[in-house]
A and B are shown apart, each in its own frame.
Chain A
Amino acid sequence: MGHVTGIDSLAYNSRALYWPPAGKLLLSVCLLVGSLSSYNLYGPAIVLGVGLFLFLYSVKGNLPSFILLLIAAVMAFNAVGVIIIAATQAGSPVFSISLPFIVINISQEGLDLAALVFLRSFAGLFVVLFFASSTPIPHIFNSLKKMGLPDYIAEITVLVYRYSFMILEQSEQMVNAAGCRLGFSGWWNYMRTTGTLTANLFIRSLEFAERSQNALQSRNFTGSFPVFREPKRITTVWIFLSLAVFASVYLIGNIR
């Protein structure tokens, strides 16, 4: 689970940390939608290039090992997914794969669609990584609150975010402790340990949350978490830039 805290710390150290969160979100959505609107490989390829550039800029060119592992894991899942898409498409078979109980026919249409989906997914991953590595969660919800998200939803979201890290930290300690006591030896032991561990984790988290709630209220907590430096508001430049990027990707992605 180290990559959860890893991405969070990347976001707080990003070069693009103080870019307007709503602007980064709009640009990312425009890139993603542009990629999905493309019917050829050029559109997603451009999005991949832009996403990769923005991501590398955001992390100052440093790629931590957990990010590489994350990318490899996601793309491995996606690769198998696109194989199924290729195998289920209609069309005259280009080649066949014989398995013990079934023969899978792969058509040219299936291969084309699989390549498009794979590239869209690969491009989308870097766009999401750019957004994730440059925008801490409190900044996103701070911006959404300014855009009309109800206060109580913004508050519960920030609380979920804070408690997630707390539970992650506690779970690491408890899993280690249970492992040291051979709690995970054998299937039934594994299930029983995990069940009681999650219950204990829930209770301990509640107790911790109770204490932190008391601490917050004793400091005049009124349901809002101020951020040290307010993220910038979105400007018209960001809106025009995002729309221009979308239009470019859409046009290039629909060249026949």
Chain B
Amino acid sequence: MHIMEGFLPLLWAIMWYVVSIPFVLYGIMEIKKLFREHPEQKMILAVSGAFIFVLSSLKLPSVTGSSSQPTGTGVSSVLFGPAITSVMATIVLIFQAILLAHGGITTLGANVFSMGIAGPLIGWLAFKGMRSFKAGMIPSVFVAAVLADWVTYLVTSIQLALAYPGADIISSFTAFATVFAVTQVPLAIGEGIIMAIFFDFLLSNRPKMIREILKEKIGKASSETPGVAQ
């Protein structure tokens, strides 16, 4: 879900850049650390980035100056954490703005914040929280993917309501959020199901790879029996 070029007033466009830049810089430092410690993960990260691009380019029509797509960032934040996902999402959003005319250059900061920072962060927190309560891997991935989507859409609605508060900001937010909800609520559940099947398949077919990535981020994942999806 992206805000299109020209939709944000200049002040808000700058503000969202300022808010997003520290997160992306932190993510860049995390990537440097990851490449230094695990250079073999460079390729997986690049494929994941390309994967987010392809997934999030599957455009579904929405309204309100935006388009709806699966964000693909929920699974990336589960695999690599929210900091690295923020950098990957930034790269993907630049590609989308340039290659697909989704989003834009002046709205990049706002789109990075909603799709690359807020959504993945909440998705990752939900995943960690569920895993710490010994929830199964697949339900945790489902919830992470759904929440990452919904938070992205809620933050986009807030961004548009802040930019165009109209008579009052709450009714403006309600108007944007209601229209987004028509496509985004079912889309997020659909993406959650697809990502759960995706993760289940990977755990069955590439358990070693998933274990190697996840044990760096989530201690509990390393104790799982490889190849068995819970």
Contacts and interface: CB of A to CB of B under 8 A. Distances in A.
A203 interface: yes
Contact of A28 (B63, B100, B105): B105
Interface stretch (B127-135, B169-177, B215-223): B169-177
Given A85-B164, A128-B98, A164-B54, A199 B197 contact: yes
A77 interface: yes
Contacts of A121: 4-7, 65
Nearest to B98: A132
A206 interface: yes
Contacts of A85: 65, 164, 166
Nearest to B87: A153
Contacts of B42: 155-156, 159
A90 B166 contact: yes
B100 A157 contact: no
B97 interface: yes
A3 B28 CA distance: 30
Nearest to B195: A195
Chain B contact residues, majority secondary structure: helix
A206 B49 CA distance: 12
A131 interface: yes
B185 interface: no
A137 interface: yes
B124 interface: no
A88 interface: yes
Nearest to A135: B98
B208 interface: no
Nearest to A166: B50
A108 interface: no
Contact of B7 (A81, A87, A128): A81
Interface residues of A, number: 78
A117 B6 contact: yes
A62 to B, nearest CB: 18
A160 B179 contact: no
Chain A contact residues, majority secondary structure: helix
B38 interface: no
Interface string A126-141: 0111011001010010
Contacts of B45: 156
A33 B10 contact: yes
B32 A195 contact: no
Contact of A1 (B31, B57, B92, B206): B57
28 contacts: A7-B98, A7-B99, A29-B105, A32-B105, A36-B9, A36-B13, A70-B101, A78-B7, A84-B179, A88-B175, A89-B164, A90-B166, A121-B5, A121-B7, A128-B105, A152-B31, A159-B42, A160-B53, A164-B95, A167-B47, A167-B53, A171-B54, A191-B193, A199-B198, A199-B199, A205-B50, A209-B43, A209-B46
Given A73-B59, A88-B166, 7 more contacts: A77-B64, A80-B63, A80-B65, A90-B167, A195-B196, A201-B51, A205-B51
The 10 A-B pairs at the shortest CB distance, nearest first, are namely A81-B65, A195-B197, A88-B166, A124-B6, A124-B5, A121-B6, A199-B201, A163-B50, A159-B46, A120-B6
